[in-house]
Structures are given as structure tokens and as C-alpha cells.
Structure 1
Amino acid sequence: MIVALITIAVILILYGVVSRPLGARGITSAMVFTAAGVAVGTSALNLVNIHLESIAAQRFCELALVFLLFADATRIDLAGLRRHLAWPRRLLLIGLPLTLFAAFGTGLLVLPGIALTGAFVLSTMVCPTDAALGQRVVSDQAVPARVRQALDVESGLNDGLCVPFFLVAVDLSLARLSTGVTAAVIRNMAEQIGWGLVAGVGTGALAGLLLRAADDRGWIEGQWRQILPLSAALLSYLVALRLGGSGFIAAFTGGMTFGYFSRRHDLRVTTLSEDVGGVLAGATWVGFGALAVGVLLPHVTWQTVVFAVLSLTLVRMVPVAIALLGTGTRLETVAFMGWFGPRGLASIVFALIALDEGVPDRQTLLATVMMTILLSVFLHGLSSAPLVAAYSHWYAGHVAKQPSAAEAKSTAMSRLRRHPAPE
């Protein structure tokens, strides 16, 4: 364990000193950390040895996602967002269920011998998106605010919305579901979403009000403006777990509520949460790369590759296109939003839970999910800079001819996480 931690720390330091020139060339941190993990996880080096069944590894990944979700959500103008939910609502209520069905059908068609329940588990694991892998897309102001907002809010909430379906799928695969599927899904959704909202809204409101009142009176030392939100993110997650709700929903709604009540949305309160989440995410990607050596390669088949490619393209893009029907959205925007649905930390967490539960066909499921994430890390990372440039160029010409275009509609947008590195 000590050797693994030393190795991860060295990788983080080495990336840090060259992060700006790498970012300017479109090379993301996830790409670097995953590749480094592959290198140090080879049988020759074996410097990072992760135990898949470890609950600590699962919690570690979850916390990385929780801190990033909370920081992102804190920057959202909640009052303004309520008036501009048309696209995020369509992506979550129409696009997400269709993606689940499409992934389920694709799994049955492509993967030989997989059971119905196995395909259901797989579909729930590959549906959540991770905006952090396409950070440039949701932070570059050249991309229309409405597009950035829709992708940002979708990725923030779909992790938690997938949790009830994932838990039901796991129970079905283990034949321990005592009620009908519909009743189980409804019950799990009520518990995961309901308690997640209670934990997130309650914690976020309390912490936000306390920060605002104390800050207005000059009672808070500078560093505690950063520590308090970090603690609120952790608290919302832990309370949600204790109540039986989704920690992801709690983190995202907690961040939005915290920002609303504290009236603080900028880097003075979000930097630490984001940086801690980024460090944990970096370590997670190193571990993921190390796991890929021993878990993915021995079990990869052409079927797993085909499923991974389809899940990143048609399985995601067609539902997005259907969800945006009737909105006046141009094909270029539909394709752009459909492509940028990267799979990341949430899928890793779901895969670790499924493995720990001992679901049937777990080797096939794990290899397929890991192949999907691996392709996503590099394909979405490498394509973000050129596609953002191409799309923003098209958008500038399009809105000049049609100022009232659907993409140009004003919307509430979260503050930038970081300004993109200069080209």
C-alpha cells in the first residue's frame, strides 16, 4: 500500500509541473493518469496493486465525484436555473431512460450468453455521464451557455438518477428482489432521490446560511470560506448514506442549495472542494489504469469493444436526438451534445459495487464497462479541443444569421470552473 501511495503521489507531482502545456495540447489529466496507471500496473512493475473488492476503493471514488459535483453545483445560479430547465429536463427525463433501454438491447445483441439481468446491470453502469472528462466543453465560453448548462446539469444529476435502477438491477441479478420490478424501481427511486434531496437541501441550506451570516459579520477566517463548503459536501454525502439516499444527488443538490443560500458562487468558496476532488479523481484514474492491465486485457473480446463503441455513439446520441425533437435545435448541436456524454467516475463506482455484490457474469460486465470508460477517457479527451473549435465556429456563423436560434437563448450558467488553457 505504501509503495502504491508513493507511486500515485509521484505521478500527481510529475503531471502538475507540466499540466499547462499538456492542457494546451488537449491532453487531459484523466488521459495522463490512466496511461500512467497502465504503465505502473504492468506485471513487470506492479507498483500499484488495487484490490477490487475493497470498500475503501469504492468510497474513495465516490468522494472524488462528490466533491466535484458539489463544487460544480455551487456555481449554478439556482434562481435563474429554474427558468431555464427545458433542455436539461429533456435530457434527464427522455434521453436517460431511452439510453438505458438502448444499452440494455445492445448488451443482449452484442455480448454472447449474457443474461437479461446482466444486460440490465450493464446498461445502468454505462449511462451516467461525467462532465469532468469533457471539462473544456462545459467551461469554454465559445460554446453556447445553453449547451454548457444542459450538459453540466445532466451530468450532475444523472449519476444519482441511475442509482435506483442500478440497485434494482443488482437485486434482480442476484434473485433477491421480493417485489415486482416496477414497484422496486419506484421504491428505490423514492428512497434514493427523496433522502438524497433531504440530505442535500438540508445540509446545503444550513451550511449556506451559516457561511453567509458569519461572513457578513466578519467572523470567518479566509481559509474557512473554503473548508466550510468542503465539510458541507462531505456531510451531505454522509447524511444521505445514513438515510439510505443517493450521495450523488445529495452532493449536487447540496451544492446548488449552498450557493443559493450563501450567495457565494465564485472560486473563493469552491476552489478547495474542486482541488480535493481533483486529487482524489487523479488517484482514481491511476488506480483505474492499473486495474485495466490485470482485469481488462485477459477478458477483452471484439464484442466488448463493439459494445463500448456503440455505447459512446449510437446508444447515447440517438436518445439525445429524440429528447431534443421539437426544440428547434440544429443537427450540429444535437451531434455535439450527443457525442459529449463521457463515462467516468460514476461508472467506476457502479462497477466496483457490482463486483463486490458478486453479480453473475461479473468478469464480462467489468471488462465491458472498463473498456467503455477507457475509450471514453481518450476519445472524448482528444476530441474536445478540435470539436469545441469547430462547433463554436459554426455557432458564430449560425447565430449571426439567426439571432433567435434555439442555441442562442439566454440561460443561467454556472461560473467557470477554470479558464481553459490557452491554445
Structure 2
Amino acid sequence: MILLTAWLPMILKRLPLSLPIVAMAAGYGVGPLLWSDTVVRAAYRPEVIERLTEFVILIALMGAGLRIKRPLSWRGWVSTLLMIAVAMPLSIFGMAALCWSLAGFSAASAVLIGTALAPTDPVLAAEVQAKPPGEEEGGEVRFVLTSEAGLNDGAAFPFVLLAIGLSTASFQAIWQSWLLSDVLLRILVGGVVGFLAGWCFGLLAFKLPSLELAKTGDGLVAVGVTLVSYGATEMLDGYGFLAVFIAAVTLRATDRGHDFHAAMAEFSEQIERILMVLIMLVFGAALRWGLLAPLGWRDILVGLLFLLLVRPLAGWASLAWSPLPTAAKGLIAFFGIRGLGTIYYLAFAVSRAEFEDAGRIWALSAFVIMCSVVLHGVSSSPVMNWVDRRRARVQKQHVTPDTTKPERATDDDVAGSAADFGGRREPEGS
């Protein structure tokens, strides 16, 4: 499978398939020939799967951050911030309400399911992410999906801790400590430590001639930056996922055009793909061995409503204040890909608190992951190829014949989707 991990992406570019689909199908079909029921259940224990998914998410966050070339500004990041501040809470609330009212879950279990499924996954979203360093960013749709996936894993953690708290106490008893500690303080610590780590490693990599890490050309540096950023933040009781992404974005900003970013991003992507395939193999085998057995018809209905209605509507509503055109808003709202982040949050929570109907929680979440992997995996490549072609046509229309420099687009041009697929011009010096 590791050999196929290197070979299959070349083949799958021509097909409406993705590597996670192939790995999941292989685990489902071949798993019983390789592993017994006991082996699969041992591999899918919360404490095992938590550590494995934790590491692959960290590597994916570093890779996503290194893809972000755009400087931080309100105009450039407003759509991302709306997706984090509006779409994700709406998705959590909507799914929790469905789980509580329609499927009969307890409040704590409903919040946990909603939180685990709300964030866009940075691991299974490679087809829709911004282009790697050294290439053009790829437009607004790719940028927003990449930056959202990078930030929302840290932003979702307060709600995971809320679900853990609700398993033993009422909301009235914990809301003050939750708001001050789990929301405000830990997010602040993660942001500050991530920025300082990225800034320090940026100096070591590009600014100090005697210590320039960039001269090594070794992509392994990305893993070191990831682990130092994460470990330091967790020691200070902050959100390490948030810190890793911010550290990567800050590191890229130190010298945006340096070739070393491409080496680090490529190494991170290779590790991410190998671990992702391994986890999806186990996930496919777990599906074969009865992970979906506790699933009822109400759970199936709730899962489909969330995937096809709640997330798209939440994303669409949050982008109502965004300057993006209609087509871009629809694509961003649709591609809320679930995956390994969901598995991590569930494993993290169930290993620290007792939740009613834990089997149903896993079954419902696994059902949504399975549907999302297939739905978004089949559609992402052809849709994003169409986006890239449309973006190229828009850019070509705004190039003058004599200077080959982009013209300033009119309001009608922007409304006609110059901005949504990447017609935005890069600021000077970026």
C-alpha cells in the first residue's frame, strides 16, 4: 500500500476517485484476509487511534500552513474568518440539535458528534487545497478551504472540552470556566506560541547566515518545527493544533519565495499520505468488522441531513457577508470534508469521559465519514479542475496584449467570478 501511495495519485488524476477512497475500499475488501477481528479491534482502540490520527493531523496542518502565501489582512482572510466564527458554530449547533431531537442522543453526546464532524479535515482535502509552495496559490476557493482546514481544528477544541464537561455537569455549572479557560485562554496561548515558534524558526532558517536551516534543504525540518510548536503549546495548556498551523504560516511569511518551503511541504505531504493510507485501511477494515452495526435509521437520516443540508447551509449563511461571488460560496460550503479529524476528536473525548451510547456515536460519525470520503472524493478532482480552468480563462481575459500585465478588473468582471477563482491580484511585495 505504501508503494501504491506513491503510484496511485498519477493514475487517479484521470479518474473521479481519490486515494482515501481506494485505501478505505482496500481495507474493507482485503482487511479480512490480512487481519482478524481481534487485530482490527485492537488497532481501533481509542488510545491507539488517537495518537496515530493526532500525528497525521499535525503533519497535515504544517503542510497546509506552508501552502499559505497570502499576507494576513482583513480583506484577504475575511471569508476564512467567517467560516471559522460563523459556519463552524452553526454546524455544531445544527448537528447537535438533530442528534438530540431526532436521534435521541444526550446533550453531551450530541455536542461531541456535532463538534467532531464540523471542522473541515486538513488530511483528506488535498485535492481542494492551495497549490504547494513554488506554484501559484490557486484562487479564492482553494485558499479559503486550506486556511479554514488549518484553523478550525484548533477552534473546534473548546467544543470538544465542552462535550466532555457536559458528560458530568450541567452547562450552567461549567460555562464560565469553559469560556475563560477553554475558549479564551487556550486559544490565546496557541496563537501566541505558534507565532513565536514560526518567527524563531524563520530566523533560524532564513535570517541567520551561520545557522541557516534552509541551506540543509532537508524537509525533515518541517517535522521538527511541528513537534516543537505542538509540544511547547501543550506544555503551556494551549491548543497545539492551532499553534502548528500559525507557526507554519508565520514561517512561510518570513521569506515567502524561498525554495526551502517546497522541500518542507513535499516531505510533510509524503508522511501525511503514508499515515493517511494506513488509517483509512484500518477504518475500512473496521467498517467490515461491524463499526456501523449500532447504526439505526434515525442515525442514517441525521448523518445525511448534516452532510447534505446542515454544513452547506451553514457555510452559505456564513459567507453572506463575504465579497466572494455566488459560485465560490457554493463550492466552499459544499466541500466540508470529514475524516481523520473526526476520528481524533472522538478518540480524544471517549478516552477521557463516559458518553452514553458510545457505539452509536462511533457508528454515526463513521457513516458520515464514509459518505463524505466517497462524495467529496469523487467530486473534488473534476470540480477543482473546472475551477482551475475557469480561473485561467478569467486571468487570460485580464491580460493586456502589449504589456502582459493584469488589468484592473471592473466591478462587473469581479461579479462575474474574477475574484472567486483567483482573479485577485497579489499585493506588491507578497
| RMSD of aligned alpha carbons | 3.0
Separation in 2 of the partners of 1:193 and 1:30?
31
Which residue pairs with 2:6 in the alignment? Answer: 16
Which one of 391, 401, 415 corresponds to residue 405 of structure 1?
Answer: 415
**Structure 1 letter corresponding to 2:364:** T
Equivalence map 1:101-180=2 (5 Å)? 101-111=93-103, 113-139=104-130, 145-175=139-169, 179-180=173-174
1:231: how far off?
0.2
1-structure distance, mates of 2:238, 2:55: 15
Quote the offset at 1:75 in angstroms: 2.9
The reply to whether residue 79 of structure 1 matches residue 71 of structure 2 is: yes
Residue 335 (structure 1) shift: 2.1
1:362 aligns with 2:355: no
Partner deviation per Cα, 1:275-324 (whole Å, 9 max, x = no partner)? 22222222222222222233423212222222222222211111111112
1:242 to 2:238 alignment: no
- Tell whether the 8 Å contact from 1:69 to 1:248 is kept in structure 2 after alignment: yes
Deviates more, 1:36-45 or 1:69-78: 36-45
Superposition deviation, residue 138 in structure 1: 2.5
Distance 1:300 1:411 in 2: 49
Structure 1, 176-185 or 198-207: larger mean CA deviation: 176-185
Q: Which moved more, 1:379-388 or 1:121-130?
A: 379-388
Q: Give the unaligned 5+ runs of structure 2.
A: 398-409
Distance in 1, Cα, partners of 2:83 & 2:202 = 29
Q: Mapping of 1:25-44 within 5 angstroms?
A: 25-42=15-32
- Unpaired runs of 5+ residues, structure 1, are 1-10, 414-423
1:112-131: CA deviation from partner (whole Å, max 9, x where unpaired) = x3112221111111101114
Question: In the TM superposition, what whole-angstrom CA distance separates every residue of 1:212-269 from its partner, at most 9, and x where no partner exists?
Answer: 135x458658555422222011111111222212121011011011112354473133
Q: Distance in 2 between matches of 1:219 and 1:102?
A: 49
Change (3 A) 1:278 1:88: same
For 1:412 and 1:62, the matched residues in 2 are separated by: 34
1:367/1:347 Cα in 2 relative to 1: closer, same or farther (>3 Å)? same
User: Partner letter of residue 388 of structure 1?
Assistant: M
1:267 aligned onto 2:267:
no
C-alpha distance in 2, partners of 1:405/1:40?
50
Structure 1 residues 260 and 390 mapped into 2: Cα distance closer, same or farther (>3 Å)?
closer
Contact 2:99–2:105 (Cα < 8 Å) also in 1: yes
Cα 1:102–1:407 change in 2 (3 A) is farther
- Counting only pairs closer than 5 Å after superposition, residues 45-60 of structure 1 correspond to structure 2 as 45-46=35-36, 49=40, 50-60=42-52
Distance 1:233-1:15 versus aligned 2 partners, 3 A rule: closer
- Give secondary structure in 1 for the equivalent of 2:91: helix
The change in CA–CA distance for 1:142 and 1:339 in structure 2 (over 3 A counts) is farther
Give secondary structure in 2 for the equivalent of 1:67. helix
- Matched with 1:417 is none
For 2:370, the equivalent position in structure 1 comes to 374
1:9-67 per-residue CA deviation (whole Å, 9 max, x = no partner) reads xx222343333112321321111111122234338842852444353431221111111
Alignment-mate amino acid for residue 172 of structure 1? L
AA aligned to 1:33 is A
Q: Percent sequence identity over matched residues? A: 24
CA shift, 1:70, in A, is: 0.9
Find the aligned partners of 1:192 and 1:37 in 2 and give their Cα distance. 37
Partner secondary structure for residue 254 of structure 1: helix
With 153-162 and 242-251 compared, the bigger mean Cα shift is at 242-251
Q: Which residue of 2 aligns with 1:419?
A: none
In the aligned structure 1, how far is the partner of 2:32 from the partner of 2:349? 24
Query: Which residue in the other structure is 2:404 paired with?
Result: none
Match of 1:418 in 2: none
Structure 1 residue aligned with 2:277, among 282, 304, 309? 282
The 2-side partners of 1:345 and 1:164 are apart by 18
**In the aligned structure 1, how far is the partner of 2:221 from the partner of 2:35?**
40
Match of 1:322 among 313, 317, 328: 317
Give secondary structure in 1 for the equivalent of 2:125.
Answer: helix
Secondary structure, aligned partner of 2:281: helix
2-side partners of 1:334 and 1:120: how far apart?
A: 26
Aligned to 1:6: none
How far does the alpha carbon of each residue in 1:47-103 deviate from its partner, in whole angstroms, 9 at most, with x for none?
Answer: 852444353431221111111111221232353555511111111111111111111
The alignment's TM-score, normalised by the length of structure 2, stands at 0.83
Aligned AA (2:376) = H
Q: 1:168 Cα shift?
A: 1.2
